[in-house]
Structures are given as C-alpha cells and as structure tokens.
Amino acid sequence: MRFLHTADWHIGKKLQGYDLLKEQEHVLSEILTIAKKEKVDAIVIAGDLYDRSIPAVEAVEMFNRLMIDWNLNEKFPIFAISGNHDSSVRLSAGTEWFSQTKFFLHTRFAESFQPIDYQNTQFFLLPYFEPISARSYFEDDTIRTVQQAMEKVVDQMQLAFDPAKKQVLVSHFFVTGSKKSDSETKIEVGGLDAIPGGLLEPFDYVALGHLHNQAALQQENARYSGSPLKFSLSEINQKKGVWIVDLTDTLVLDFQEITPLYDIAEVTASFKELLDPSFYHTINRENYLQIYLKDRAVIPNMMNQLRAIYPRILGVERVNGRHRSTSKRQTLEIKQPKKLAETFFTEMVGEPMTEQQMSWLEETLQELTETE
Amino acid sequence: MRFLHTADWHIGKKLQGYDLLKEQEHVLSEILTIAKKEKVDAIVIAGDLYDRSIPAVEAVEMFNRLMIDWNLNEKFPIFAISGNHDSSVRLSAGTEWFSQTKFFLHTRFAESFQPIDYQNTQFFLLPYFEPISARSYFEDDTIRTVQQAMEKVVDQMQLAFDPAKKQVLVSHFFVTGSKKSDSETKIEVGGLDAIPGGLLEPFDYVALGHLHNQAALQQENARYSGSPLKFSLSEINQKKGVWIVDLTDTLVLDFQEITPLYDIAEVTASFKELLDPSFYHTINRENYLQIYLKDRAVIPNMMNQLRAIYPRILGVERVNGRHRSTSKRQTLEIKQPKKLAETFFTEMVGEPMTEQQMSWLEETLQELTETE
C-alpha cells in the first residue's frame, strides 16, 4: 500500500483578507500531479477540508470539482475525515453515494470503528470529535477528555484488527509533544484535548491533521502532513507539501515539497526604499509581505502608496516600536452599524449580502434609529 | 410510466416563527408511503427542495436522510431540479455520484437539454433559471425574459425528442393564467417571468413547481403539484398532496391528498371565550390558528395567556379594526443592536450564533459604543 497523506486544506480561507482560492486550486492540482507521478494507490485527507462550517459557494464548487476529478475521473480511492473547521453534518450529505466509488468521507464518531479494507490495509477514519460524542457512544460518563476517549477508541478499534493486514488511523487532533503555530484555532482547555503519542502505537501509521506544520511531530509511526499552504506569518519558515507513505513490510516516508504561487516573506526597509524600483526589483513583490518599516515619521497615505507596488501586504510594522497594522485599519472601517452587520454577515456566511438581505437590514436599522 | 409528482418542499421553512421540520418530515414520509402504495416507477421533485440557499444543518440532515431512504433503500429513481429558493451550486455538490443510482438532480441550465431516458419516457430536467443564463448559453443578447428564453429552450429540447417515447418536462416557473398565493416569493417584474402555457404543448406532461396551490393551473398537459404543506394563511383552503401521473397512451392524473400533522385554521371569538375550556374543547387547539378577537378593550398580557392554551398562533387580529399581530411584537423585540444582529444572523444562516461569533459581535458592539 502506497498512499498520499494530506490535510488542513481550509478551502475558502482568507489570509489577512486576501482570497486564497486561486492559490488553493493551484496547490491542490500540484497534489494530484504528485499522486499520479508517485502512482499511489489512494489519497488520505486528514480533516479541515473547508475553513468554516458554512463555506462560500466558490469553496463548495471547488471541492466538488476536485473530488469529481480525483475520484470519478482519475479513479483514486479517497479516505477522508472532517476536521474541527468542517460542519460534520453538512459534509456528510451525499457520503453514502460517494462511498460507492471508493470516496470514503467519515464525519461521525460512530463511523470510525468499522475499518475500510483496501488492498493489504485497514483504514480507520476517525473524524474530529468532542469528548461528549465518546461519552454518548460508549455510554460512559467518566469520559471527560479526548485522551480518555482515545483510550477507549483505540481499544475498540483493535478488536477489528486483522493480523494479516496493516492498520492506518486517519485522525484530526493534537498529539502531545507537537509544536503549534499561530494559525491553528486554539481549542484546548488546559491540555484537555491532547493525546499522548504512545496511545497511537498499535497502528502502523497515523495520518494526522490539525497542526499546520508537517514537522510538528516526529513519531516513528505518526505524522502531520501540515497544510499545503502557509496560513499565517508564523508559518513563514515551514516546508509545505505532502507525505508519500509506503507501507509494505516497513514504513517508508517521503515528504514531497510543493511550491506555492505566492510565498510569505518579510522585508525590512525605509518607506523611501520601498518605493524605489532599484529596491523592489530585487525582491518578489507578488509574495505575501510582512513589512518592517524603519521610518519614525508619520507617512500620509502610506498604505495606498505601498499597495500600489506590493499587492499582497500582510501587515506593516514600525521596527522602532510604533505599530500600524492593516487589521487595525480594518477595525476602524467597520464602525458604522450597517457596515458592521454587512462585514459580520460576509465574514460568517462567506458570501456577500443579497439585495433583499441588504434592504431588510436597512429597514430594520431605520426602525432602530427612529425608536431610539 | 407511472410517477409521483411533488414540489416546493421548502425544507427548513418556518411559519410565523414556528419550526415546521417535524411536520415536513411527517408529510414527506406520507409521500413515500403513497409512492410505495401506488407502485410508481419514479418520483419527480420540481424544485424548492430547501427554503433558503444556506439551509440549517437540521434541514440538510433531513433531506439527506430522505434521499438515502427513497433512493438507496427503496430504490426509487428520482428526477429533481433546484428552485428559486435553492442554491444551485450548494445543491449540485455530489450530484455526479447521485446519478449513479438514478438520483438525478439538475441545478444548471445547461444540464437540461440532455434528457434522461427511463423506460418509455424522456425526462427533461430544467432547473429554475434567470434569463441571463439563457443569454449566455445561447449566446443571444436579445433574450430578456423567461418567455423569450423558454421559446429557445423548447426548440432546443425538441431536437432531442425520440418519437418512440413520451416527453416529460420538469420545471420551476410561473405559467400565465395561474393563480398565486401569498407564500410564494414575488420575483417577477411586470410579468417578465411568466411563461404562456401554450409554449409547453410539445410535452406529454409538464411537472411544475413554484406555485404552492395544486389547483393554480388547469392545463391539459401541465400541473403544479403545489407544496405538500400549507405555508401561509392564504393557503388555508387549498388541498395539499401529490399527483400520481400515469403516462401510457393517454395521460391520467390523480391527485392524492395528504393530511398534515397540524392544519391552518381561523377562529373568531372573544378573549373570555378563548380562555374557556367549554369553548376550546370544541376546536383543535393544536392547529396553526389565526385568531380574530371580538373584544375592544386592551387586554394585558394577552399573548402569553393565549399561548398557554393555543401553542401555534399565527396571528391575532381585532375584528373591529384594532390590530395586534405577533409579527409586530417580534419587531419590537429586536430593537437592541445585539439582538438585531443575532436575529438577522439566525434568520439568514438558519443556525444560532456560536459562542465565538457572539463574543466577536459583543466586542465589536463594545468598540462601536466606545467610539460613538
């Protein structure tokens, strides 16, 4: 069995307000190219397919298009789970039909105990879950943490182990000893969500999702694939790509790097330098740039001047301590009630408001003003 | 060919704030019972499966569960289209897999010209569309109205007609001469969305969705199935159910009525009578009630007293002209900014706000207050 391990696609995610869809489409097509070149038998996706529970239509469209291509056209079996960013219910729609062409997408805790046998391997697909799901499944009120749950989960899974086969666990959680970066949602409370790596020993390989750094965990039989793209400045020095997992008598792991359309980079310079072609021709202006500004004086219309040259600015920070970041600026822009509601709606739903919604909002705000 | 024709399910719709999911589940299970009893060869659903483009998870879950049951378990072929209330993109996710078990769900204009042959019949599945889709598909800028579009659509479809077979069109629009009720969204501008019934003559049967009244159109070869439930007070006297369509040499139509869990009813009485057991034991208190109140005096705490006895009140109106409706009351309740945003979000997204969203909202409102 030779498969490709990826995770944390976060389709539809924005980076400081910049739409990443084009970059995501590029990097995911690179993954398919690797799968074909490496002649893998299957593709594993360890959760967080989407960035939010209600993805924008463009995100839904893209994921659907990808799966048609990978599974129906290229005939790759797919073993996937939902992550903490996905809506397990929304993602589960249609899965009964998907599995008929070996596109297995598990989103419910209870589904994880029936392994999917493929060639010489049993795949256990354990979606992201909260302890309450385990409490109710095992009818055991003493289960308070993910670790307690996982002890029972692994015991239960082992009952289905076929000694003649290899066992792969696909899951989405935080394994103790891993290093976190900024862009993962902080979900743990006092370490309650952490799994000791030792618990995962019974498996020949554990394909993990959740942490965006592929180097976060160096356990003999377990790896994070990491996200295929950098999603925050803190990931600036991380390698991004996918694992090719060869599971015959021994486990052989090969990390294949992917070059993104645009990288994240830092630049330290004075405002004058930044506007000087002889300076900016020496760097890749298309990258997502974190700018450290050497100046001390106030610079009028600074962001607009910079944006005319650098299309993807993550933030601008004064090296000498005076801060000015784009996110601050955005906060100031949305102080009007209508703009606030609109921004909030767009942010949450991932779609602009329709005319009908907008007129509903305006009418209600009007009423509000009149009665205050 | 013998099939069942239904439409306008609007799964997830609320009636004056009351959740209809339980009633919808009941009425849809009645439809399956009819399909089995009548031994139909297929089930046709003519659009508006959901009530909104982003349905609540409970709605998604229910629709998915139904289709698993109808298509995968009971093996009914399903011919369905999206309506104006559905998101064509969201609904299209997974359709390539669905069709492998004869669950055909068309959501895109271009998909409608390739009929689906089943037994002696060709099914043309034409989803709800705007004239712009036809303009772009036919590369014809003169198409301004749905009628102009439909002339071309029908011509194009006829090219694929097999004279040895029957032709059924499944579509979702307003046919001239039909009668509308309140609960359909007003989408037409000056009648631009209307189709003359004569245009539909080439088909042996046209299974329509859009209007909620099954009696809205009496054309020899075309019918609205109507919604399976009453969705507004204006539908109080409508029969609700499904058509059993028998299409052999001749067309035989049989409307099968369905009794809902709770009906819509009107009651005219004084407040004193309404609170009197000897009065309310004579009516079905569980129904959705429009109450016409004979009293003239102000009644403190009226709605709460009435709701304690009548769990599903659509509205209360003074017979003598003084109005007091529940919708007015709801308007008053949402005048606080936080409540406003929360109500708006819940209304649009169909889900309550998460704790994270709520805290985001609170923080932003706090900032807003501080800077004002």
Give pLDDT tens digits along chain B (372 positions).
999 999 999 999 999 899 999 999 999 999 999 999 999 999 999 999 999 999 999 999 999 999 999 999 999 999 999 999 999 999 999 999 999 999 999 999 999 999 999 999 999 999 999 999 999 999 999 999 999 999 999 999 999 999 999 999 999 999 986 655 555 544 443 355 789 999 999 999 999 999 999 999 989 999 999 999 999 999 999 999 999 999 998 999 999 999 999 999 999 999 999 999 999 999 999 999 999 999 988 898 999 999 999 999 999 999 875 444 444 444 444 446 777 777 767 766 666 777 777 777 776 666 555 443
A340 closest CA partner among B279, B169, B341:
B341
Nearest by CB to B340, from A64, A101, A368: name it.
Answer: A368
For residue B111 the two structure tokens come to 């998909």
pLDDT of residue A330: 43
Q: Identify the pLDDT of residue B191.
A: 52
In this complex, which of A60, A344, A349 lies closest to B361 when CB atoms are compared? A344
Question: Which chain B residue has its CA at the smallest distance from A99's CA?
Answer: B97
The answer to whether residue A343 scores a pLDDT higher than 80 is: no
CB contact under 8 A, B96 and A341: no
Separation in Å, CA B67 to CA B11, B45, B224: 13, 12, 22
pLDDT at residue A183, as a whole number: 53
How does strand B251-257 pair with strand B241-247?
A: antiparallel
**For position B13, what pLDDT does the model report?**
95
Give the per-residue pLDDT at B322: 47
> Can you give the pLDDT at residue A359?
72
Do the beta carbons of residue B110 and residue B152 sit within 8 Å? Answer: no
Which of the four pLDDT bands, split at 50, 70 and 90, describes residue A86?
very high
SS3 of B84, please?
coil
Q: What is the mean pLDDT of residues A34-58?
A: 96
Q: Which of B97, B348, B368 sits opposite A349 (nearest CB)?
A: B348
CA within 13 Å, CB half, A257: 7
Region label for A109, one of left (φ > 0), alpha (ψ between -120 and 50) or beta (otherwise): alpha
B contact test, residue of A84, A90, A342, A345 with most B CBs within 10 A? A90
What confidence tier does A348 reach under pLDDT thresholds 50, 70, 90? low
With cut-offs at 50, 70 and 90, classify the pLDDT of residue A333: very low
How far, in Å, CA of A295 to CA of A302, rounded? 12
Residues of chain B with Cβ-Cβ distance to A92 below 8 Å are 61, 64
The radius of gyration of chain A's CA atoms, rounded to the nearest angstrom, is 23
The residue in chain B having the minimum alpha-carbon distance to the alpha carbon of residue A185 is B356
Structure tokens at A313: 């600015």
Alpha-carbon distances of B346 from A173, A205, B10, B341, rounded to whole Å = 30, 42, 17, 8
Q: Report the residue of chain A nearest B62, measured CA to CA.
A: A93
Determine which of A101-110, A152-161, A252-261, A324-333 has the lowest per-residue pLDDT on average. A324-333
Does the beta-carbon distance from B64 to A93 stay under 8 Å? yes
| Interface confidence (ipTM) of the complex | 0.76
Half-sphere exposure of A240 (CA within 13 A, CB side): 25
Q: Is the pLDDT of residue A235 over 70?
A: yes
Closest chain A residue to B354, measured at CA:
A348
DSSP-derived letter for residue A200 is: G
Is 50 exceeded by the pLDDT of residue A158? yes
| Residue A344 in this model has a pLDDT that exceeds 80 | no
The alpha carbon of residue B103 is apart from the nearest alpha carbon of chain A, in Å, by: 10
Which chain B residues are Cβ-neighbours of A102 within 8 angstroms?
Answer: none
Judge whether residue A337 has pLDDT over 60: yes
Residue of A97, A340, A355, A365 to mutate for B, most B C-beta atoms under 10 A: A97
**Token code pair at residue B182:** 């309140």
Q: Is the pLDDT of residue A52 over 60?
A: yes
pLDDT at B333: 43
Give the model's pLDDT for residue A325: 46
The tens digit of pLDDT for each residue in A9-28 reads 999 999 989 999 999 999 99
Strand partners, B5: B44, B243
Is residue B209 within 8 Å of residue B46, measured between CB atoms?
A: yes
Tell whether the model's pLDDT for residue A182 goes beyond 80.
Answer: no
Residues of A in Cβ contact (< 8 Å) with B368: 335, 337, 340
CB contact under 8 A, A357 and B341: no
| pLDDT, position A326 | 45
Residue of A nearest to B88 (CA): A57
For all residues of chain A together, what is the average pLDDT? 88
Chain B contact probe: residue of A53, A71, A72, A96 with most B CBs at under 10 A: A96
Position A352 scores a pLDDT of 73
B269 or A367, higher pLDDT: B269
Residues of A in contact with B92 (CB under 8 A): 61, 64
In this complex, do B349 and A348 lie within 8 Å of one another by their Cβ atoms?
A: yes
- Inform me whether the pLDDT recorded for A226 exceeds 50: yes
* A289-323: burial string, b at 16+ Cβ within 10 Å, e else: bbbebebeeeeeeeeeebeeebebbbbbbeeeeee
How many CB atoms neighbour CB A140 within 10 A? 12
Instruction: Give me the pLDDT at residue B350, please.
Output: 61
Please name the residue of chain A whose CA is at the shortest distance from the CA of residue B53: A57
Q: Which of B101, B348, B369 has the highest number of chain A CBs within 10 A, making it the mutation to test binding with A?
A: B348
For residues B65-77, one letter each, b for 16 or more C-beta atoms within 10 angstroms of the residue's C-beta and e for the rest, the string is ebbbebbeeeebb
Q: Which amino acid is at A95?
A: T
* Residue A35 tokens, joined: 């799968």
B193 Cα to chain A: minimum distance (Å): 18
Which segment of A132-146, A224-238, B328-342 scores lowest on mean pLDDT? B328-342
* Closest Cβ opposite residue B371 in set A61, A93, A335: A335
Residues 6+ apart with CB under 8 A from B102: B71, B77, B78, B118
Interface test with A, best of B73, B96, B100 (most A CBs within 10 A): B96
pLDDT over 50 (residue A75): yes
> Residue A89: which of B61, B68, B334 has the nearest Cβ?
B61
Residue B77: predicted pLDDT: 98
